[in-house]
Structure 1
Amino acid sequence: MKQAVKFTFDRQFGEAPASAKRSVEPRPADEAPRAYTEADIAAARAEGYAQGFAEGQKDTAARADENITATLGKLTENAASILSSLDAISGDLKSDAVKLAHETAKRLASASIGVRPETEIEAVLQECLSHLNREPHILLRIAPSMMDRMKETVDRMAMERGMSGRIILLGEPGMEEGDCTVEWADGGVTRDYDAMLARIDTAIARYIETIAPKPAETNALEMPEPAASTGEAQSAPHGDAPGA
């Protein structure tokens, strides 16, 4: 005997509502595949080539910019290094030029004095007589070897200044040829070639210090390295060991 099924009122016997109706439309017939012509293929190739070419150009331009930036950075570093080297070279050249000129001047002066030492003495005496023509007496000290050569010159200069007999010529032992000392009542002046060279050497050395390249300065903010600790090897305090 069949089992009875309870009716649940979920079945509709009337006409289905419009919302429940399914629209049944005929399916369109399958379209035939498109046939590509040679022109279509050529256009596609051209489009792909153009796109690839544009992307290649962008990539090449980006790499070129990177290379240019890197090159400019290296050039800047090299330029700074070159300028620093040029400053050092320029300072060295200036120092060498000053030293060469100084040495040349000393050699020429020594050679000139060796040939005509009386010229230097005449120049000093001439300068003094232009201010001391009213002095009753003037003492001229020179090297003993210069006495004979200078006597006639001193007499002539004294006569030209109206000071005949008022210039006393005296040989000074130990004095170099070309050096001299002029003395008068209230003062005097000395021409000492060696002392003059020493002053010039000092002045030249100071000038060279101002143009010579300076060594690289250390960083003033850099902390000094700590000294080795002296307490690491210290022994324990003297006394009884634990447990003794």
Structure 2
Amino acid sequence: MFDLDFGQPPPQQRPQHEMEAELDALAAEPEEELPPPPTFTEEELNFAREAAFEEGRQHGLAEATEATQRIVANAMAALAGQFEIVFRQQEDANDLNARNAVRVAMAVLKKMLPAACEKHAFDEVAKVVQEVVAHILDEPRIIVRVAEPLVEPVRARLEEAAEGQGFEGRVVVQADMRLAPGDARVEWTDGGAERDQARLLADIEACVERALAQPEAGIDAECVHDEFAGT
């Protein structure tokens, strides 16, 4: 009922002077001193600033180098693509030029061949016939058909050639109005041969057209060479 217990003696209080002495003692204790802040010399500060500047510079250079390398790599990739296009276009242009050159050469040949054959008709016909006769010396008779203006010159040349090669058969030279100057037909018992400039030109032209029709293979020079070799 009451907070005070009257049965117990009251607590003894410390004397006032002891309490004051204890407080004075606590107040007299020295406070813990904090370490002084670090100090730097001017030289150290300059070194630190230079080191920080150099580190930043190196970092900047590294980033710039990396960026430059990326730009160069992208540029090289773009150039490679452009080079491929340019090379392909150049190849197409070269192929077109080659084809045009062949067409021009073919046109020139068609214009020049008849005139050349007419101009050298006798020599060409005589050469062809002599080569044939040299392989059929055992034939009893050889019939040679040429354009009318060449009959007598060819007969004279063949008679001389036959005698020189030991041909004992008969050589008959006849005019054929269907033959152009420079053309000739040679007939013997089991065969014959002919020189037909119109067919030769057609064969050459067909070979050229076949070559021009092959865009990937290019001009078939061997084919054209073989056709010319047949002349």
- Answer yes or no: same fold by TM over 0.5: yes
| Alpha-carbon contact 1:95-1:212 (below 8 Å) kept | no
Q: Which piece of structure 1 moves more, 138-147 or 34-43? A: 34-43
Higher helix share: 2
Structure 2 CA distance, aligned partners of 1:6 and 1:92? 127
Structure 2 unmatched ranges of 5 or more = 6-10, 12-26, 219-231
Aligned-partner residue type, residue 63 of structure 2: D
SS in 2 for 1:210: coil
Q: Distance in 2 between matches of 1:104 and 1:70?
A: 51
Q: Tell me how far apart the structure 2 counterparts of residues 60 and 103 of structure 1 sit (CA, whole Å).
A: 63
Higher relative contact order (CA 8 A, sep 6+): 1
Greater Rg over alpha carbons, structure: 2
Query: Alpha-carbon deviation of 1:183?
Result: 0.9
Partners in 2 of 1:213 and 1:93 — Cα distance?
15
- Matched residues, percent identical? 22
Aligned-residue offset at 1:35 = 5.7
| Structure 2 counterpart of 1:90 | 94
Please report the TM-score for the alignment, with normalisation by the length of structure 1. 0.67
Q: TM-score, normalised to structure 2's length? A: 0.70
* 2:117 counterpart SS class: helix
Aligned residues: 197
Q: 1:144 to 1:37 in 2, by over 3 A?
A: same
Could you tell me whether the CA contact under 8 Å between 2:138 and 2:169 is conserved in 1? no
**What stretches of structure 1 of length at least 5 have no aligned partner?**
8-12, 14-23, 215-244
Distance in 2 (CA, whole Å) between partners of 1:130 and 1:149 is 19
Which residue identity does 1:133 align to in structure 2? Answer: L
CA contact (8 A) 1:138 1:168 kept: yes
Residue 155 of structure 2 is matched in structure 1 by 151
8 Å contact kept, 2:145–2:184: yes
2:143–2:174 contact (8 Å) kept in structure 1: yes
Which of structure 1's runs of 4+ aligned residues deviate more than 6 A?
Answer: none
Give the letter aligned to residue 61 of structure 1: T
Alignment partner, residue 192 of structure 1: 196
